[in-house]
Structure 1
Amino acid sequence: MVTAADDLALQMGVHVGMPVAKVEALFSGLVIQDAEPDADAIALEKLAVWALRLYSPIVAADPPDGLVLDIQGAAHLFGGEAGLIEDARRRLSDLGIASVAALADTWGAAHALARFGRQPVQIIEPTKTGDALRGLPIEALRLPPDKVPDLHLLGLGTIGELAAKPRPALTRSFGTGLFRRIDQALGRVAEPIEPVAAPELIRIERVFAEPISAPETIEKYTRRLTDRMCLRMEEAGLGARRLDLHFTRNDNRVETICVAMAKPVRDARRLSRLLVDKIETVDPGFGIDKMTIVAGLAEPLAMKQTLASFEAPARPDVEELWDIMGNRYGEDSLYRAVSVATDIPERAVKRLPPTSTAVGSGRNAGFRRPQRLYRKPEEIMALAVLPDHPPRAFTWRGQRYGIACADGPERIHGEWWVTEREKGKVRDYFILEADSGERFWVFRTGDGQHADTGSLKWYLHGKFE
């Protein structure tokens, strides 16, 4: 039997489940290799550990060809759910692995949509899970293969058709697992994920004789586990860049909080504060039976002198502030602005992580630039004399501004080595002071003499505060 086929074979008509003898009779020149299920399973486990280190504290292999990730509490580290999926697919592509991704409330729904959906990436809203599954074939429910043909004989082809049928009769014929799969996919029945564990990760557990649920009790044991984690990391000479704290409830559901740090850290007070800030997002249900803390990402951290010398004072410790803000508002909300060696204003600044030591370019340090640049230049109606005179008045957002004085032009040429569209293009920038005292930064496209340099339209690009 064919268990897998590449894109070219699929385009020729080969499909999974096709007898090899039929394939060889219909198509010539195909390369057929023996399947290695055991090696595939080992490779999938390795891929799950790879995803565990990068994306989520709860990752499990979903044989034969899938991964399931619980990204609750981790998506904000990548700018949201879509950002995490995009980053994962890009990294997998770099490894030569094609992927399809689906995000849903449940493992069953995500499994079905990833394998039987019509789009390479699908993000289903929490209230739309049933609608998204209704039209999928019943094979998407992970049913035993021997039961699917019998269901087709009964005229049941989609999940929606099966879900609409009375349960007692079908349960007697096919067992309780039939509708349990539907309930799991719709979130009516819990389906816990048994995550993989990377052997090199530092992992500490605390099992309780009686379930705990009070916030102050959870906070107390969070601090204790963090203290033990820091002692283990000190013995290993490591510092945490990401900590994952799992709460296993007595209904087998796992709640998780994640914190990420800009640099390796093993200060128990600092790490405890970051974790405790997120405890309010944990739903203890009827009680928590076990807490597990894992150093999801750790790096070498050597001891260093922290006291100031006589010659120079110690640099203020701002990393803790970075970590608090990054975990509270997302990593994208915190960055350094560094100047870039370019003449195009909208490219003159780029965002870097706060830990970056890049100095930036001083290319535009001598030019006057507004403190505020608009994300996209806004077109204005201007009254000006060509080719080099500034506007005498302009209209912006329905308001007319008379010009008291002006300075310019400052000519900027397009960077043809960046994009072909900028070849030969020109912008003439002016600093304008309106009668109201406001100061604007505007430009005209084109040099006023040659048509191929620009359209002679005026734009407002920034405003001086």
Structure 2
Amino acid sequence: MTRVVSIYLPDLPTDRIRRADPSIPAEQAIAVIAKSGSRRWVSAVDGAAKKAGVHVGMHAAKAQALFRGLTMTDADPAADAAALKRITFWALTQYSPIVAVDGQDGLVMDTEGADHLQGGEEPMLVRIANQFRAKGLKTRVAIADTWGAANACARAITREVVIVPRGETVRAVEQLPLSLLRVPDKIVGDLRTLGFKTIGELANTPRAPLTLRFGPEIGRRLDHMFGRTPEPIDPIRTDEQIEVSRSFAEPIGAAETINKYVGRLVVELVDELQRRGLGVRRTDLIVEKVDGTRQAIRAGTAKPARNVAWLTKLFKDRTEKIEPGFGIEKLTLVAILAEPLDETQRSSSLIAEEVIDLTPLIDLYGNRGQRVYRVAPVASDVPERSVQRIGAASDPVDGAWVNHWKRPVRLLARAEQIDVMALMPDHPPVWIMWRGKRRKVKNADGPERIFGEWWQRNSEMAAVRDYFVIEDDAGERLWIFRSGDGVDPDTGSHRWFMHGVFG
């Protein structure tokens, strides 16, 4: 069943200004001023301006008088629209094959078949919210059965993540205001004059009088919101993206027929890629059905590729997920992400060195929703910062871990606080209590002192950790540390933590 995600960017104009000028302090209030003739009013505000009492619609002079430190910037709708378009293109490469701009302040995407690649709906939405926040964009994300319901919930509910359970659309939207129905403002005003306040009140009113007075728009939007009629999402595209398609005079539906035409589209796509000297990293198959709905399948590769047989296999392994319904009238194959790919000449020697290519295995696991990656060293003494995840097929990274002390095989995702009995400042513990189990320390080595990285954070100017390798009475070797030097409280809390386990 289709699930739709709406991503609402309530502060897009001010977020765009901050992203364009990172030197603006976070506490600096910003208001965007729109003009119409001689009239000037506030069209957008950030969080700091809202706290000061500035709101959208306020006269610019009143806003300036209310808050002297307010930064006022002229509105630039074209720049806002361009920024939203760039964000949508980025989301297309990250989350789903079907992503589109949604009004002036958001984007919408169909995540059917994509949520399992990210661990389910809730982890997917949390990841989306976190990634947008990391880019300096305030966002609210909602998922529902329909575009209309997701759009309304993202704008009406102030939580960062909203999940409307399957089949619960009516309950979720019936108390929401009419302004979220996505009908013209004039119609909303006239409906309020007639006494309507919520979407539920309007939905429970006979359709004929409304259609006679306001036309078919209200009924159409209600049918879209409640899923009575489909509302296809037309995915955003760029001129640079390579796209091939095949339309059918008679709808198709058999798996063998679908696979046959997918194979032909792959050949056409690869021919165009070869002509441009490119290889594809991410490819989307868009299936357009007779009833107006769309379904999409995404295939990714660890390296740029244009091998016809391999790309065809990646799609044929997943075409059984296509639900043709009343029939498919069009298939489209789009190279969402392509990179330069040079032809490599094979060795002509009689005895060529055998090279094992793991890329096909990486592709298979990746397209099944598994996260495949390698770890690479980072120049840092702090253990949790000394490693990074890189693509499984990435080029080798220069550098290596240089440590005089051995490191554990497994580093905990987060250091876990433990209870210990130890003589400070330099002695290892006599026993530790970790995860409810008391362990007697038989042997210990240390301390290894690691200093904080003051160039990363000012708070680490005097920070110290003292690490010990200990062996408990069961023979298990553990890596623990004390935060601080054991004497000066400015160096750390002097609490003890478990950080790793040796093999």
User: Are 1:402 and 2:440 an aligned pair?
Assistant: yes
Partner of 1:295: 335
Alpha carbons 2:44, 2:56 under 8 Å: kept = no
Q: Secondary structure at the match of 2:230?
A: coil
Please identify, of 64-73 and 139-148, the stretch whose mean Cα deviation from structure 2 is larger.
64-73
- Is the contact between residue 117 and residue 136 of structure 1 (CA under 8 Å) also seen in structure 2? no
Instruction: Name the counterpart of 1:341.
Output: 379
Calculate the aligned-residue CA RMSD, in Å: 3.8
For 1:378, the equivalent position in structure 2 comes to 416
Q: Map of 1:173-212 to 2, 5 A cutoff?
A: 173-212=213-252
Any conservation in 2 of the 1:377–1:459 contact (CA below 8 Å)?
yes
User: C-alpha displacement at 1:396, in angstroms?
Assistant: 2.4
Q: What residue number does 1:150 align with?
A: 190
Distance 1:136 1:215 in 2: 43
Structure-2 residue corresponding to 1:412:
450
SS of match in other structure, 1:359: coil
Distance, in Å, in 2 between the alignment partners of 1:415 and 1:27 is 43
What is the alpha-carbon distance in structure 1 between the residues aligned to residue 295 and residue 478 of structure 2?
Answer: 52
- The aligned counterpart of 2:278 is 238
Distance 2:83 2:446 in 1: 63
Match of 2:13 in 1: none
1:401 and 1:101 map into 2 onto residues whose CA distance is: 46
Q: Does 1:277 align with 2:317?
A: yes
SS of 2:397's equivalent in the other structure is: coil
Number of residue pairs matched by the alignment: 452
1:379-408 deviation digits (Å, cap 9, x = unpaired)? 333233333222233332332322332222
Q: In the alignment, does 2:258 pair up with 1:218?
A: yes
Letter in 1 for 2:230: A
Counterpart selection for 2:471 from 433, 438, 441: 433
Deviations 1:300-340 (A, max 9, x none): 2221123475797253222222222222125xx22211122
Q: How does 1:111-122 map to 2 (within 5 A)?
A: 111-118=151-158, 122=162
Percent identity reads 43
- Where does 1:100-179 land on structure 2 (aligned, <5 Å)? 102-118=142-158, 122-179=162-219
Tell me, yes or no, if the aligned pair for 2:129 and 2:139 is still in contact at 8 Å.
Answer: no
Gaps spanning 5+ residues in structure 2: where?
1-34, 66-70
**How far apart, CA to CA, are the structure 2 residues paired with 1:324 and 1:128?**
35
Give the direction of change, closer, same or farther, for the CA distance of 1:12–1:237 in structure 2 (3 Å limit): same
Alignment CA distance shift 1:193-1:377 (3 Å):
closer
Deviation at 1:159, TM superposition (A): 0.7
Distance 2:190 2:184 in 1: 11
The answer to whether the 8 Å contact 1:343/1:364 transfers is: no
- State the AA in 2 paired with 1:185: M
* Mapped contact 2:117–2:369 kept (Cα < 8 A): no
Partner of 1:266: 306
Q: For the residues of structure 1 that align with 2:134 and 2:443, how far apart are their CA atoms? A: 51
Do the aligned partners of 1:134 and 1:158 also contact (CA within 8 Å) in 2?
Answer: yes
Kindly indicate whether residue 397 of structure 2 is the aligned counterpart of residue 359 of structure 1.
yes
Secondary structure at the counterpart of residue 112 of structure 2: coil
**What SS does the aligned partner of 2:429 have?**
coil
SS in 2 for 1:179: helix
- Where 1:217 maps in the other structure, the secondary structure is helix
Q: Structure 1 residues 83, 25: closer, same or farther in 2, change over 3 A?
A: closer
Residue 257 of structure 1, CA deviation? 0.7
Aligned counterpart, 1:442: 480
Equivalence for 2:427: 389
1:83 aligns with 2:123: no
Bigger drift between 181-190 and 308-317 goes to: 308-317
Mapped partners of 1:202, 1:444: distance in 2: 56
Residue 460 in structure 1 maps to residue 475 in structure 2: no
Which amino acid is 1:383 matched to? M
TM-score (norm. length: structure 1): 0.82
Larger Rg: 1
What corresponds to 1:306 in structure 2?
A: 346
The answer to whether the 8 Å contact 1:308/1:314 transfers is no
Distance 2:396 2:267 in 1: 34
C-alpha change, 1:145 and 1:340, in structure 2 (3 Å) is closer
